[in-house]
Structure 1
Amino acid sequence: MSDDAAVEVYWEDLVPEGFNELTAPLMQHDSQMTQLQPNAPVVEKYDGMRVKVPGFVVPLEGDADKITEFLLVPFFGACVHVPPPPSNQIVHVTFEEGISIDNLYDAIWVTGEMSTEGWKGDIASVGYRLSGEAVEAF
């Protein structure tokens, strides 16, 4: 873990200047929830930077006690109850040792080193990755 203070990064910071998010319907005609911008551009300056990002957890891997892998999203229900936001509005987070999340309904801060490498899973394409160091209440 670095001695450098983590830079607070908010969701609007992860969208490149001049990039307009699509304002199209979120559902296809067959009612399937589809991510409309799976290849949205990322902000390269965050690659390798130690950051602190707020958001909500969509668990991917873990058990009842600890989560080792999750998606961090800007609003509750993203990727679960509503279609995934653009890929530059999702962060794939991993915690090697796993962490406990008390309540998935609550927003959290996640601190760690960010990468703009991207990730693709069954739920969504993701623009950012974060190697997690710490989680705290938002």
Structure 2
Amino acid sequence: MRGFLPRALGALLLALVATFLAGCGPASQTGSTTNIAAAPELKWEELIPKSWDPTKRYRNISLEALRDNDPRAIQMLDEMRAVWDNAPINVALDGKAAKLSGFVVPLDNTQGGIREFLLVPYFGACIHTPPPPANQIVRVVAGETFKGLHAMDTVKVSGVLRAARYASADMGVSGYEITGASVERFVAAGD
């Protein structure tokens, strides 16, 4: 029977794969526009530098052969988490107006609603699965409190994307932020 740590390593690898498959919205170009309404909608994979491949080192490792108490499994999990928490950002997007659709992971939740949250590319990220790499988490501080917003709701966020690290004790490390963001519920085409 496989142990927890090998499953955790596998979950981290699967989370990265899910990130690449979870692109929200059509591919777009990132111009230097400052008009938020006309900002391009980004796909999540655009936030990852093309040269970054965090899975390269682990491709030839048989996770099934590792057990919970295996020091190699513990070391690999710690190393992988450190690499993901320090994932590089796409510097070409720093300071650009953008739109990005994703799932809400609340950082504050008051009776008035949610104003600050992490935007993640796939359902369950940071809550039911390990956090994705930092370049796949955006800290959002909305321009105003959004009522009726809950964990894992889908939203579209618009604003200026900035390179900024933010570490949440429980939810992961973000590599980007959008402050003063416009937040709207995501509606899929045809709905």
- Which interval holds the TM-score relative to the shorter structure? 0.7 to 0.9
1:92 and 2:146 are equivalent in the alignment: no
Could you list the runs of 4 or more consecutive aligned residues of structure 1 that deviate by over 3 angstroms after TM superposition? 101-106
> Does the Cα contact within 8 Å between 1:21 and 1:86 map onto a contact in 2?
no
- 5+ residue gaps in structure 2? 1-33, 70-76
Partners in 1 of 2:127 and 2:93 — Cα distance? 27
Identity of aligned residues (%): 35
Give the letter aligned to residue 137 of structure 1.
F
5 Å matches for 1:9-20? 9-20=42-53
CA offset digits 1:72-95 (Å, max 9, x no partner): 001111111110000000000001
> Does the Cα contact within 8 Å between 2:105 and 2:152 map onto a contact in 1?
no
Q: TM-score, normalised by structure 2?
A: 0.61
> Does the Cα contact within 8 Å between 1:6 and 1:51 map onto a contact in 2?
yes
- More helix by proportion, 1 or 2? 2
Greater RCO (Cα-Cα under 8 Å, separation 6 or more): 1
CA offset digits 1:49-72 (Å, max 9, x no partner): 111001000001131441010000
* 1:135 matched residue in structure 2: 184
Distance 1:101 1:19, change over 3 A: farther
Question: What SS does the corresponding residue of 1:88 show, helix, strand or coil?
Answer: helix
Deviation at 1:100, TM superposition (A): 2.4
- More strand by proportion, 1 or 2? 1
Number of residue pairs matched? 134
Q: TM-score, normalised by structure 1?
A: 0.83
